Chains A and B, each alone.
Chain A
């Protein structure tokens, strides 16, 4: 069976019709990982034994006619989502040997479906970065050009799907970490509305912004995944008590009459011409399908980067304080508690993580709190308001996902400020708790994918999936030649 860019629904049909067994399907992917992951480096851990067990269990369900959407479907999971008994490293020396004793809620939900875990995908350390080059274990490459970054932080999850090492994966998105690598790797990834998916078991980077979501080959596969992982969770007080629709319901519906806003700040000179052109062309294609394009503005965008980094790093500084070498994680040396935790943290964390901890503590520390952290919260309120104003006149918002296509590995090393600025297109979606989906809308001359983002109202994933799906129907993606 050809698994190149295979879709969940095709695999489902193959499994249900006994064209292929769950174990056999799983082996196909493991074989491809063996062949290709040396180059892509998408995985930190490949869970062969567990995959075999799960595939056998899935086959029983299939044989008993009890299969659901994801029964027997191989899935790769970002290495910051806790799985009982499976090493979960966050791509950090700090958690090199950490084995969680419990499952994240999304994992419980996937288990209930009878999924098959292929392995744990690489990421920027503690999800802090946009290149997957801060990973302590697997510096993932871009399947379209292995000299380029795959994006990040969910670079492993995006590259795995892109290179057909997995049909679908889970990532997490705090400031663009699902959408931007999906854009760089030419796949479809959705960050659901904050509160849509339980965060329980996701190792926290910035608690008010983090959200788990799927990366897949198209919008429909994303919708199938969302159907499985969404819903209120009693273990996460920030998970919303709202109805979960069937996210596939609006797929295939025409975008005729859909109002698509294009805030001018997202099409400024800071965005590569290639990228801008591809997104504008995509807009025109949607317009041709009957959608209505609307010009608008989001002035708060100019403060978005500092607001995002202040909030995210403040929360991160606090969230990462628990890593002290005592309860889990890298245990350094020291005669006293203070010496031990300093040594553990100094040697366990990488440079970017440390910078963000320092920045977060700066923003929160006495004398700076009002000027930085509180100001960032004020800006958050303003950005929410500006988005609400746009959604008064539009159904969705269309923007580039990143200012550039994938760049060369090493191009942004040693320049944190440049790296931070590259998040401009994605961070406000997290700040405003909105859902956003990336789908491929073109390729550069050198063949690198260009992504566009469709942003929706809170809890209106169905409409952005519909819009992305409508575009995908008229677009032919090109798989990487890896």
Chain B
């Protein structure tokens, strides 16, 4: 099933990815094939029950509430454009 243009555009919006026209065309084709492969799972007819997962832990295995010294600010920011100990972000448009 070919994926629709507006679906791929929506996915690009959710993913914060830009494609030029040719790129979008190409990825649409690829995504269509991939989704065909994914669609095979639709014929599997069991339903998911999250209470049956066996990955839960006991309450007592959570972390005790003890504050520890934080990290040096400059080390945290060593990979970022920063000023006055803050990350620099272009203006957010609302």
Question: Which residues of A approach B to under 8 Å, CB–CB?
Answer: 97-99, 101-102, 234, 237-238, 241, 302-303, 305-307, 309-310, 317, 321, 324, 326-329, 331, 334-343, 345-346, 349, 351, 354-355, 357-359, 361-363, 365, 371-372, 374-379, 381-382, 384, 416-417, 420-421
Beyond contacts A359-B34, A417-B36: 18 other A-B pairs, Cβ-Cβ < 8 A, are A101-B71, A237-B62, A306-B38, A306-B41, A328-B79, A329-B79, A331-B81, A336-B90, A342-B16, A351-B27, A354-B15, A354-B17, A361-B15, A362-B35, A363-B38, A374-B48, A375-B41, A376-B41
B53/A342 in contact, CB under 8 A:
no
Query: Is B6 part of the binding interface, using a Cβ–Cβ cutoff of 8 Å?
Result: no
List chain B residues, Cβ under 8 A from A349.
Answer: 17
Q: In the complex, what distance in Å separates the CA atom of A335 from the CA atom of B7? A: 27
List chain A residues, Cβ under 8 A from B12.
Answer: 358
Partner of A354, one of B27, B40, B54, B62: B27
Knowing A98-B79, A354-B27, A379-B46 touch, does A341 contact B41 (C-beta < 8 A)? no
List chain B residues, Cβ under 8 A from A346.
Answer: 17-19
Q: In the complex, what distance in Å separates the CA atom of A321 from the CA atom of B15? A: 8
Pair count A-B, CB < 8 A: 146
Partner of A101, one of B37, B47, B75: B75
List chain B residues, Cβ under 8 A from A381.
Answer: 46, 48-49, 52-53
Q: In the complex, what distance in Å separates the CA atom of A334 from the CA atom of B15? A: 17
B46/A337 in contact, CB under 8 A:
no
B38/A355 in contact, CB under 8 A:
no
- What distance in Å separates the Cβ of A382 from its nearest Cβ neighbour in chain B? 6
With a 10 A CB-CB cut-off, give which of A317, A321, A346 has the most chain B CB atoms.
A346
B40/A303 in contact, CB under 8 A:
yes
Query: Is B2 part of the binding interface, using a Cβ–Cβ cutoff of 8 Å?
Result: no
List chain A residues, Cβ under 8 A from B57.
Answer: 237
Interface residues on B, range: 35 or more
Query: Is B59 part of the binding interface, using a Cβ–Cβ cutoff of 8 Å?
Result: no
- What distance in Å separates the Cβ of B72 from its nearest Cβ neighbour in chain A? 8
A334/B79 in contact, CB under 8 A:
no
Query: Is B67 part of the binding interface, using a Cβ–Cβ cutoff of 8 Å?
Result: no
Interface of A is mostly: helix
Question: Which residues of B approach A to under 8 Å, CB–CB?
Answer: 7-8, 10-12, 14-19, 27, 30-31, 33-42, 44, 46-50, 52-55, 57, 61-63, 71, 75-76, 78-81, 87-93
17 pairs, A vs B, C-beta closer than 8 Å: A302-B40, A303-B44, A328-B80, A334-B90, A336-B90, A337-B90, A343-B18, A355-B27, A355-B30, A358-B27, A362-B11, A363-B38, A372-B38, A374-B47, A375-B48, A378-B44, A384-B54
Q: In the complex, what distance in Å separates the CA atom of A99 from the CA atom of B91? A: 26
- What distance in Å separates the Cβ of B71 from its nearest Cβ neighbour in chain A? 7
List chain A residues, Cβ under 8 A from B81.
Answer: 326, 331
List chain B residues, Cβ under 8 A from A416.
Answer: 30, 33-34
Q: Which residue of B lies closest to A346 (CB)?
A: B18
Knowing A309-B38, A363-B38 touch, does A417 contact B17 (C-beta < 8 A)? no
Q: Which residue of A lies closest to B79 (CB)?
A: A328
List chain B residues, Cβ under 8 A from A329.
Answer: 79
Q: Which residue of A lies closest to B18 (CB)?
A: A346
- What distance in Å separates the Cβ of A95 from its nearest Cβ neighbour in chain B? 9
List chain A residues, Cβ under 8 A from B90.
Answer: 334-337, 339-340
A234/B16 in contact, CB under 8 A:
no
With a 10 A CB-CB cut-off, give which of B12, B19, B79, B93 has the most chain A CB atoms.
B79
List chain A residues, Cβ under 8 A from B62.
Answer: 237
List chain A residues, Cβ under 8 A from B7.
Answer: 362
B92/A337 in contact, CB under 8 A:
yes
B75/A379 in contact, CB under 8 A:
no
List chain B residues, Cβ under 8 A from A341.
Answer: 16
B34/A417 in contact, CB under 8 A:
yes
Knowing A303-B40, A303-B41, A417-B37 touch, does A326 contact B31 (C-beta < 8 A)? no
Q: Which residue of A lies closest to B63 (CB)?
A: A234
With a 10 A CB-CB cut-off, give which of B33, B48, B81 has the most chain A CB atoms.
B48
Q: In the complex, what distance in Å separates the CA atom of A307 from the CA atom of B27? A: 21
Q: In the complex, what distance in Å separates the CA atom of A123 from the CA atom of B92? A: 35
A101/B76 in contact, CB under 8 A:
yes
- What distance in Å separates the Cβ of B34 from its nearest Cβ neighbour in chain A? 6
B41/A372 in contact, CB under 8 A:
yes
- What distance in Å separates the Cβ of A374 from its nearest Cβ neighbour in chain B? 5
Knowing A365-B10, A378-B46 touch, does A358 contact B79 (C-beta < 8 A)? no
A336/B37 in contact, CB under 8 A:
no
- What distance in Å separates the Cβ of B90 from its nearest Cβ neighbour in chain A? 5
